[in-house]
Amino acid sequence: MALVLLNARMSERSFKHWSAPAVLPLIALMLSKFSLIMPLSTAEAIRFQLLQAPPFIVNISADLKYCVGEITTSTNALKGVEQFLAQLNHREVWMASSVHKGEHEGELRELYRLMPISVIGGSFLPTSSGHNIAEAMAAGSAVITGPHVGHFSHMVSAMQSFNPLSILQVSGEAELIKSLHELLSDPLKLEARQTAAKQAFHALSFGILSRVWIQLDWFILKRLPV
């Protein structure tokens, strides 16, 4: 049986924990059982190797969290949201997502496509590990995050490197309020951020599954006994 670790993460905090002499032999033994480890960045790949993962099984991979699928909205859901928006009497609206437990991914995906601005609420809490921004960007919603993006920091950096307008990262409540006011009062700025978000998502997500499959095929499937 071949064991593969996809989207492998090893934060600096976790690395320090597993590097302790008391537990290093345990993690080294665990990692030696894998046939392929696919971390998301060079830094994480180095951490896995420092934890004694065999170097030849560590291969940097694309982030599977980009693979959110096609953003579509069912007819019934669309009617419900349109009725809700009509009740607002054409007021300017925006959405804060990932702000409490119980939010369902399917519902968020439908709302992202209909909202001009999506604020990723989980990124404003220092105890949070962030929330996937790819869904909102794929839907063409202007994305605003807070300072605590956690596990998605590499995704935020990649998006901003591709186009600084793709994600607006604010420091806190005051800057969030100011940014919302600026975007809602300037249709051109809002449209520019919506377009940048969608373009950055498509550019960075293109071919991810194919690249991951090629690695799996090369390192795992071709080496299995016939």
Show the tokens assigned to 76.
Answer: 């019934």
Least confident piece of the model among 118-127, 134-143, 154-163: 118-127
The Cα 143–Cα 205 span in angstroms is 17
Assess contact for 65 and 9: CB atoms under 8 A: no
Q: What percentage of the chain reaches a pLDDT higher than 70?
A: 87
Q: Where are the domains of the chain?
A: 4-62+207-223, 75-205
pLDDT for 73: 60
The one-letter amino acid code at 169 reads Q
pLDDT tens-digit readout, 65-104? 888 766 666 666 667 767 776 776 667 888 888 766 655 5
33 Cβ contact partners less than 8 Å away, ≥ 6 residues apart = 3
**Fold held by 75-205:** Rossmann fold (3.40.50)
pLDDT for 131: 81
On average, the pLDDT of the chain sits at 86
pLDDT tens-digit readout, 156-186? 999 999 999 999 999 999 999 999 999 999 9
Average pLDDT estimate for 192-207: 93
Highest mean pLDDT out of 68-82, 108-122, 142-156 = 142-156
pLDDT tens-digit readout, 204-217? 988 888 888 888 88
Nearest one of 149, 133, 1, 8 to 66, comparing CA atoms? 133
pLDDT for 104: 56
pLDDT for 196: 97
Show the tokens assigned to 153.
Answer: 């920091």
Q: Is the pLDDT of residue 126 over 90?
A: no
pLDDT for 153: 86
Q: Is the pLDDT of residue 52 over 80?
A: yes
pLDDT for 101: 62
Render the burial of 98-133: b for 16+ CB within 10 Å, e for the rest. Answer: beeeeeeeeebbbbbbbbbbbbbbbbbeeebebbbb
Higher pLDDT, residue 99 or 131: 131
Average pLDDT estimate for 13-35: 95
pLDDT for 69: 66
Average pLDDT estimate for 19-33: 95
Q: Is the pLDDT of residue 128 over 90?
A: no
Q: What angle do CA 71, 207, 164 make, to 5 degrees?
A: 70
Q: What angle do CA 59, 5, 39 make, to 5 degrees?
A: 40
pLDDT for 93: 83
